[in-house]
Structure 1
C-alpha cells in the first residue's frame, strides 16, 4: 500500500521530499567506519533501517550497500529537523552531517548536526525484511533483497571484483579487450537455439548471439594475436539452477598457442583468483572442499565412454547414440551437448574424486565442429572441458583453421542441429580462406564460476535480475 497521506503531511509541513539533487556523500559507510576518529566531522547518507525515539533524542541506523552506521539526533541541536525525523519511516533516505563519538557500549556513532530528507519511501519494507527469505520476492524485487540481505549485497560486490580480476589478468598478459556484435545475421560459434527478432530498417531477421567466437576469430585473421571479451550471450533454451537464457561468458583467443597453453592459463587464472578471494587455494562448495592448487588432474572422455558404454573414438555419432541410449535406456534421436555434459558429470563423480578441478580431454571429433583434431588421429580433438565440483565451467580447444575442413564440419553440424538457421556463415569461412594462424580459444562461464567461488546453489543467486515469467503471464 502506498502511503500518500504521510507524503502529503511531510510535503505540507517541510516541503517537497524529493527536491534535493545533491548531497555531499563522498564515501561508503564502511569506509567511514574504517576511518573512525573521535570527534571527526563526517557526512553520510543512507536508508533508515531502524529508529528508537527517546523523547527529545533518538537513535537510528542508516545503511548503504557497504553496511550500516548508528546516528544520534537531539531536538536541541536539530530544531525543526528533529520534528521531521520523528515523522520519518523505516525505508526513508536521509543525508546527515555530524561528528563521531562512541556510545557507552563502544559503538561508533555520528552525533547529527544537520539532517536532510533526500527521498520519502511510499511503500513499507516487507514484514521480517531483516533477512528476506522469500525466493520469489528476492528474484523479482532484487532491490528489496539488496536492502534486507547483507549476504546478497556481498555476492554482487564480489561478483564485480571477480570480473575485474579476470579482466586485469588478461590485460596484464597483453590481451586486448574487444566488443563484438550482439545482433548477428547468422548465429554461430556454439550449439543452442537463438532468440530471433526483426530489424525494421534493414528488413532482415537478426539473432541475439549465442557466442562471440566467430567474430573473435576474424580478429585473429586481422592480426590481433591476443583478444578477449567478457560478453552477454543468449540461448532460447531451458531454465534451471545451472542455466539462464541470458548469461555472461569470458572468451579469450591466443594466436600461435594450443589447448595445452589454455590449460595453464585456466590453472593460473582460477587458482590465483581463489587465492585473492580467500588467501587459500581451498574453497567449500555446497559442503564439498575443493582444492585449486595446481596442477589439476586430466580425465579422458574417450576412456570414460569406452569403459562405461564400449564406445570407440572412430564410432559414428549414430553408433555412439545407439550404445549410450541402449545402456541408459534412453529414447532419443540425438545426443545434445547438454546431455553429453550431464553424462560426463555423472561419470566423473562416479570414477574420480571431485575435490579438485579436472580437465576432461580426448573428446570425439563430432562433439565440437570448430576444434582441431589431434595430429595422430582425426577422431580425437585437441580440446578440454573444465569441471569443478561436477559442473562444467570452461571449454577450450585448439582452433580449426583449415577452411576446407571447417566448411565440411559446419555443413555436417547443420544436418543434426535443427535449432540453428539452415545457413553457413560464409563471411567467417571467407576470413579463414585468407589465413588464420594456429590458435587456442577459451570460454569460461562467468555465472557458474561465481556460483562456485561464492558457494551459491543457483545461478539466479549470482545474476542481479534473472528472467522470470511475469506475474500476469498465463501458464
Structure 2
C-alpha cells in the first residue's frame, strides 16, 4: 500500500471519528428505500409550468447508493450515487438541509454509502437529479476506491480510464470490480438472465428441476480427473462430482421422465481461457427421446437465452459475427474430418492415420495408438473443431469416446459383433457435441440402456484406464444395477453455462463470467 493511500485511510478514519462525535452513527442498522435510481429517472415528468414544478416537490423519494463522484462548491454541491439499477445525481444545498447535515456531507467521500431523501428535478444541463432535503450516512468507506474516469471522444464514443485495470487484481477483488466497472456488472446481470431463460425453457417443456450429490463415493459420467477428499466420520474417500449424469439417469429409472439440474462440476485439470476447475453446467434427461430431440431442445435453449440476454440471436464475439438462430447445421464427425483434412477415416488404415498424425506433428496420447476410434476423435479435436465458428452439431462419434451411448440404429447385432472384432472398423454412436466459435458447448447422447452392453463397455473403459488412460473412471456397480432394473429409451444433454455466457456477453475469458474464479493465493514474503 502506497504512502498516499495510507494518508487517505488516515484521513477517512479521522472523518469517521468526527461523524461519531457529531452524535451520528456511521453504520446504522437499516434505511427505508422507496425508489431506485432508474425508476426516478424513468418516471420523471418535465414540469411545464410553476404549478407542475410544485407538484413535483410533493413527490418525495428516498434512494440509497454508493457515492461515485462529488463536486463540493461551498454552500451547494452535486454528487453521483449508484445503486443496483444505475446512477443518479443529487443536489444538496446548505440552506435547505441545515448546518448539521451539510457538515456531515462535507465529511463524505467517494465510496461512502448514503441515503438521500428529496424530489426529482432537471438541472440546467438537462440531467435528471434528486434535490436533497435530507441525507444520511449509511456506511463510511475506510479504503478509497480506484479512480475511474470517463472521456467522450470526438466520435461520441465513451472511453473509460480505469485505475483498477489489472486483470488478476480484478478477479481477486471482484467486489471492487463490480463497483467501478459498469460493464462487469452488466455481464453478471446478463448471466442471471441467461440462466433464468434456460430454466424457463426446460420448465415449459415439463422438465422437473432436481438435486443430486456433490460429494460422491464413485466419480463418473465424464472422462476427467476428480478432486478427492476424506470423510472422517465414515472413514471413506469421497470425490467432488465431475458430472451428475449417472444420478440423473437413476432418476429416469425411478420414474421421473424429464429432469434437469444446474450444478457446479469440479475437474482437477488445467486452467485456461475456456476452462476453470469449478464450472457451471446444466444437464437434462428425457425419457422416450433420442439425440435428435436433444438437438432440437439444445438449439432452442441457446436461441432463447441469446434473445433474453441481448434481444437478438445475432452476436459479435471478439469481432466475429455469429448467428444463433435455429436450425443449426448437423454434420457427421467423419465428414468434418474429410472436409478439413481430406482424410476418409473409415477407408484409411489405422497405420496411415498414425503416420498422418506424426508427420503433421499433431498431439496425441501414445496409449491410444491401437484404437482407431480414439485416433479419429483426436484428428477431429486437433484439426477441425477450432474452425467450427457458426453453430454446428457434430454428430455420430466413435464408440470408444464414451461407454454411455447407444450405437447408431442402423447397425444390426451381427454387424456390431463383426465390427468389434476388427481393429480397422469404427463403431459410431448417437452422440453429438455442439460447437460455436470453435468451442465445444456441450454434449449429448441417445443413452445406452442395454445393461449387458453397458457393463461390457464400462469394463473395457476400466481396462483402458489400467493401460494408461488417466481420465477413465471406476466401475459404478450401483449404476449398472439401475440399468438392469430397466431404463426406458432416453436422451440426455449437458450445456456449459459459463462458455455460453462468454459468447453472449463477448467476454474474453471464462474468468470474466465467474464471479469468484479460482486464483492461486498470493504468498507474502
The TM tier, using the shorter chain, reads: over 0.9
Which residue is equivalent to 1:22?
A: 30
Q: Does 1:213 align with 2:245?
A: yes
Report deviation, 1:309: 7.7
Contact 2:396 2:408 in 1 (8 A): no
* TM-score where L is the length of structure 2: 0.84
1:314-463 equivalent positions in 2, closer than 5 A: 324-325=357-358, 327-330=360-363, 332-334=365-367, 340=377, 343-344=380-381, 346-348=383-385, 354=389, 356-377=390-411, 378=416, 379-417=427-465, 418-419=469-470, 423-463=474-514
Report deviation, 1:325: 4.5
When structure 1 is superposed on structure 2, of 162-171 and 72-81 the one drifting more is 72-81
Unpaired segments ≥5 residues, structure 1 = none
For 1:315-340, what per-residue CA distance to the aligned partner results, in whole angstroms no more than 9, with x for missing partners?
99999667534543546324699995
For 1:113-156, what per-residue CA distance to the aligned partner results, in whole angstroms no more than 9, with x for missing partners?
11111111010112447643221221110011111111000000
1:174-213 equivalent positions in 2, closer than 5 A: 174-213=206-245
Report deviation, 1:369: 1.4
Q: Report SS of the residue matched to 1:162.
A: helix
1:465/1:422 CA distance change after superposition, 3 Å:
closer
Q: Does 1:266 align with 2:298?
A: yes
In 2: Cα distance, 1:338 partner to 1:428 partner: 29
2:64 maps to which of 45, 51, 55: 45
Contact 2:377 2:398 in 1 (8 A): no
Q: Report SS of the residue matched to 2:38.
A: helix
Q: How many residues align?
A: 470
Q: Does 1:283 align with 2:305?
A: no
Report deviation, 1:422: 6.4
In 1: Cα distance, 2:326 partner to 2:473 partner: 43
In 2: Cα distance, 1:93 partner to 1:278 partner: 31
Larger Rg, first or second structure (1 or 2): 2
Unpaired segments ≥5 residues, structure 2 = 1-5, 46-55, 150-160, 417-426
* TM-score where L is the length of structure 1: 0.92
1:148 maps to which of 155, 164, 180: 180
Which residue is equivalent to 2:21?
A: 12
Contact 2:62 2:117 in 1 (8 A): yes
Which residue is equivalent to 1:83?
A: 103
Report deviation, 1:106: 1.3
When structure 1 is superposed on structure 2, of 162-171 and 415-424 the one drifting more is 415-424
In 1: Cα distance, 2:180 partner to 2:335 partner: 49
Q: Does 1:35 align with 2:43?
A: yes
Q: Report SS of the residue matched to 1:284.
A: strand
1:26/1:240 CA distance change after superposition, 3 Å:
farther
Which residue is equivalent to 2:74?
A: 55
In 2: Cα distance, 1:362 partner to 1:404 partner: 22
Report deviation, 1:105: 1.2
Q: Does 1:103 align with 2:123?
A: yes
For 1:213-247, what per-residue CA distance to the aligned partner results, in whole angstroms no more than 9, with x for missing partners?
00000000000000000111000100001000000
When structure 1 is superposed on structure 2, of 267-276 and 102-111 the one drifting more is 267-276
Report deviation, 1:268: 1.6
Q: Report SS of the residue matched to 2:315.
A: strand
Contact 2:223 2:472 in 1 (8 A): no
Q: Report SS of the residue matched to 1:261.
A: helix
Contact 2:219 2:474 in 1 (8 A): no
Contact 1:93 1:119 in 2 (8 A): yes
For 1:345-373, what per-residue CA distance to the aligned partner results, in whole angstroms no more than 9, with x for missing partners?
742555x6x3x300101211101111111
1:116/1:361 CA distance change after superposition, 3 Å:
same
For 1:231-276, what per-residue CA distance to the aligned partner results, in whole angstroms no more than 9, with x for missing partners?
1100010000100000000100000000001111112222233233
Which residue is equivalent to 1:74?
A: 93
